[in-house]
Every structure is written in structure tokens, then in C-alpha cells.
Structure 1
């Protein structure tokens, strides 16, 4: 049993991980929140709610006393200057925390996706922290794209909110870069990710710096074929010019709306084109293709194949 602190755990991914940790009945879990108390009806048995002032290094260090592992789900584009997450890291070091996982939970690289710039900065911050000597064991958990997003507009897990992407199984359509059919993408279920995180927390060896979690990996062209089998019909694939996308112009018959809960309505409106162009270019650059460190460290674990998951998720739906 270890004491685990979760920062930003009220978000989609954080809640999935918390539920999985609670289900083990093995660990003491602290949920760090800027709010005084959880909203009515949102308390979770086995989780201690703690108000955290991310602007105070001293108070954070006090909260983290006795904590073994910190999992951060702080939204990068909402953390101006990475102030909250930097203070969390510094407080973890001061409190003697053994392990830290920054807010990653997605791609291996950030090509064409400037909203992830904060994540790139945190990678450098942690790297420099251990430059002279190791003061904090940390890892970058990277599952690629949650295959759960491909069930939009239907929910396929308790907490992951459906999100429109350029891969639209519901309307049988797909946006990709011209010549991008062979680009590879990693698709991992939220459930597999949560189970691997539990195994990682209980892992007695040293964490690798990069923690790729490769549920399944296919080319974009293969994903179109999977979509056509799963949905029982042809997909309308629009292949866009990279030059247009790099200029922020999406010349397609449709554009997925930016509906992620971390965005305000104003941000959703402003970022829709930028997000679409960036994600399409990012997929072409294989930014969502991740390594397989935890597949190797957990050879007994069987990951869910993307097509198997999608067949079950779309069964009986129009």
C-alpha cells in the first residue's frame, strides 16, 4: 500500500484512474483540488479530498508529506507558465515524494499541436531537475489516442467524455493529410491505461523516463478499413493538403467541433480550426504513435485490440 496524490483528478482521465485505484482497495488516495469541498454527490469512497493552493510551495509540500507517488492531470493549456505543475514538482521534491507522473496521457511528440507546448516545457523541467543528480523518479505516461474517443457521440466509459475528432465513426468520415495513409497511430482503451497505471504504481523496479502504453497500433489507412467493417459501410475520406493545414486552413466539407470539457465555449469557437489542422497534421507526423515500455515490462498483460473494442462499442448503434 502506498499513499498517492492526484492533482487535477476531477477531469476525465484523472477520474478513470482514481476509480481504478479505489477498486484495488490497496492504496491511500489524496485528491488535490482548488475547491474547498467536492460538489454534492461527487464524493468517492476511499478518496480524501484536500484543498490545494498551487501558488504556495510551502502548503503543497505540507500536503505531500508521506506521499509516495504523485499523478498530475493538470490541464497544460490552462496552467499559465506551468506555474501550478512546477510548484507541484518542487513541493514533491521538498516533501520527499518518490515518484512523479506529469500531465502527459496522450502523444509521444507535440508536432503541429501548440496547445501541448506546456507539456514539452515540463519534460525539460523534469529533465533538468535530475541533470546533476537524481532527485525525483518520474515518467511520462503516453497511451496515444484513447480509442474511446472513436465512439463519439456515445460514451464508452464512465468518465471519458465523447469528443469529436477527425476520425468520425458515427458519420463514417475521416480527415487526413494527402499521402498520410501509412502514418501509424496508437489506440489504447482508457480501461487498459488505468490498469497499467495501477501495475506501474505497484511496480518495484525503477520507472522508465518514457512510459509508452501501446494498446494497439494501426496505420490511418488500416483504421479506415476497420471503420468500414465496424460501421458496415464506406467512409468518406477527405485528404487535405499539408500546406493548407500548416496555414491553419481546413478545406473540408466538415470540421469536428472542439468539445473537450477543458475548453471554455469561447476557446472552442476560436480553436476549432487550429485543433483540427493540428491533429490531422500531428497524426500524419505519427505524434500519436507511442513506444511500448509497459508492454515490455508487463508481458503477461493482454491489451484490447482497437477493432475488438470498436465492434463491441458500436454494436446496435445507428
Structure 2
């Protein structure tokens, strides 16, 4: 049993991790948050309100903490500065392990909004702390918006966002690159379960790679047709077409979308997992199971 602090544990992927740790009933849990989290407090979670601009305040909040897991939204200079402050505070407070806020794949050099992640990662590597970064591919929950059953569960940490690449409700799909390019997809709930399980591992590798499923977007479209009976109109976009779009003037959300498509086309979301074998008791949900559960009435 160790004391774990989850920064940003009141929502998003942080909340998935907090829930998974609570289920294990193995560790003392602290949530760092900018605001009160009454739903967690009523479950006995120690919620500590922090100002991420204050290393001193963060250090005090992390006293006695063994593992710090950052789930700070990694968009923009403010978030990068907040995470660097968290890392510095973890060092001063005497923490042993640190997890930076990654939760995607090796595409920090492609996606503008992820540029700060690379700066933090370099700081983590030179921190002297034990560390790992979680690589989970594309969140499977991106195919949850508009589903016909249990939408809250289908969305997981992906709430209030549009579908990505394949919009099952609209019946449309943009397939980047080769239709056969495989990607790794993982439900956010399963990411949380794997993260909770790694707290029991005696050592950490630099990267903890998780795979819920590995298949091509073309195969996802076919599964949607076969399992859900949905006709999906597909449009293929080559790397060159994506690069041409990105060379133009786009608003930040559009740019993020097309940069992620480019990362898929370039194979950045295809990798061999490491944690699935180490945590073999966890059986993540497959894409077929996800579609059957949330896009059919059976």
C-alpha cells in the first residue's frame, strides 16, 4: 500500500484513474484539484485544493505521497507550467514516483497542443524520480457520442466532445492514409484499471504501453456495419492531403483534429503493448464488444 496523489482527479482521465484505485481498496488516495469535489469527498477521498502556480502549496499538499499521477489537461503554456510546478513540488516533498500527463501515443511532435508534453517529459526524465508515461493509443470512447445505450459509460473521460474519424450517429467516416493502417484503441475506463494495477509493480519501465484492441479504422467501419447494421459513408485522406489541409489556416480545434488524423496515417498510434502481459488479469473491452454494448439494443 502506498499513498497516491492524482492531480486533476476530479474529472476526465484523472477521475477514471481515481475510480479504479478506489476499487482496488489497496492505497491511500489524495486528489489535487483547483476546486471542491464533493462527490469524491463523500467517498472518503482526501481532496486538497491547490494553486498550481505555487510550488510551496503543492509541496505541502504532497507531503507523505509516494506516487504522483498527473492528469492535468496538457493544453497550452499554463498547463505546462502547472505540470512543471507539480514535478518540482513532488521532488521537494520526497515523492518516489511520478507519472506525467500523456494518455495518448507518440505524437507530441505532430500535435501542436501536445508540444508542452514533450517539455514536461524531458524534465521528468532528468528529475531523479522513478517514472513512466502511459501510452494507450486512441481512446475507444471517441466512438461513443450519440450512441443508443448507456452513453455516459460509452463516453467515459471523453465527455462533451465530437466523435473522431468515425461518426456512427451521422454515418460518416474519414479514414486517414491506408485503410489497413492499424491503430491501438483503449477505453478510458480500462486505462484507469491498468494504471491502478501498475501501482503494485515493483519497477516501472519508462513507457507503460496499453492496448485495449488493435485494428484498422477500416475494420472499425466494417464492424459498425456488421454489428450495428449501420451504413458508414467513408472518405479516405492521404498523408499529402492531410498535410495540405494543415498548411492552411485552421482554427485550433480543426487543427487538432487533422493533426491526430495525420498521426494515425503515419502509424504513430500503432505499437506493441507492455502492460497487457504484466497485468494479465485485466481483460480490456474490445471494439466489437464496445459497439455491441453501446450501439445495439440487444
Verify same fold: TM over 0.5.
yes
The 5 A counterparts of 1:168-187 are 168-177=167-176, 179-187=177-185
1:207 aligns to 2:204 (yes or no): yes
- Aligned-residue offset at 1:47: 0.9
Deviation at 1:176, TM superposition (A): 2.0
Matched ranges for 1:258-277 at <5 A: 270-277=251-258
Deviation at 1:297, TM superposition (A): 1.4
What is the alpha-carbon distance in structure 2 between the residues aligned to residue 47 and residue 81 of structure 1? 24
Q: What is the deviation of 1:120?
A: 1.6
Contact 2:8-2:32 at 8 Å conserved across structures: yes
Q: Which is worse superposed, 78-87 or 119-128?
A: 78-87
Equivalent positions of 1:150-169 (< 5 A) are 150-154=143-147, 155-157=151-153, 159-160=156-157, 161=159, 163-164=161-162, 165-169=164-168
Contact residue 193 and residue 282 of structure 2 kept, 8 A: no
How high is the TM-score relative to the length of structure 1?
A: 0.84
Give the CA RMSD over aligned residues.
Answer: 2.4
Change (3 A) 1:234 1:111: farther
Q: Secondary structure in 1 aligned to 2:196?
A: helix
Q: Is the 8 A contact 1:32 1:51 kept in 2?
A: yes
1:103 equivalenced with 2:101 (yes/no) = yes
Number of residue pairs aligned between Structure 1 and Structure 2? 291
> 2:166, 2:172 within 8 Å by CA — same for their partners in 1?
yes
Residues 153-209 of structure 1, C-alpha deviations (whole Å, 9 max, x = no match): 2425274215321211222211023x4212111111222212111110122x21111
How many Å separate the matches in 2 of 1:217 and 1:156? Answer: 24
Q: Write the distance in 2 (CA, Å) between the matches of 1:123 and 1:17.
A: 20
- Give the drift of 1:126: 1.6
1:261 aligns with: none
Could you tell me whether the CA contact under 8 Å between 1:22 and 1:46 is conserved in 2? no
- 1:303–1:7 CA distance, 2 compared to 1 (3 A): same
107-116 vs 70-79, which moves further: 107-116
Residues 231-252 of structure 1: CA distance to partner in whole angstroms, max 9, x if unpaired?
213311111243342233699x
**Which stretch shifts more, 271-280 or 191-200?**
271-280
Separation (CA, whole Å) in 1 of partners of 2:12 and 2:294: 18
Q: Distance in 1 between matches of 2:282 and 2:239?
A: 38
1:297 matched to 2:278? The reply is: yes
Q: List aligned pairs for 1:70-89, cutoff 5 A.
A: 70-80=68-78, 82-89=80-87
Whether 1:143 and 2:126 are equivalent positions in the alignment is: no
Residue by residue over 1:249-276, the C-alpha shift from the partner in whole angstroms, topping out at 9 and shown as x without a partner, is 699xxxxxxxxxxxxxxxxx93232122
Structure 1, unmatched stretches of 5+, are 130-134, 252-268
Cα distance change on mapping 1:101 and 1:291 into 2, 3 Å: farther
Shift of 1:81: 7.0
Unpaired segments of 5 or more residues in structure 2? none
User: What TM-score results when the alignment is normalised by the length of structure 2?
Assistant: 0.89
Instruction: Tell me what 1:230 maps to.
Output: 227
Residue number among 59, 62, 83 corresponding to 1:61 in the alignment:
59
2:294 matched to which residue of 1? Answer: 313
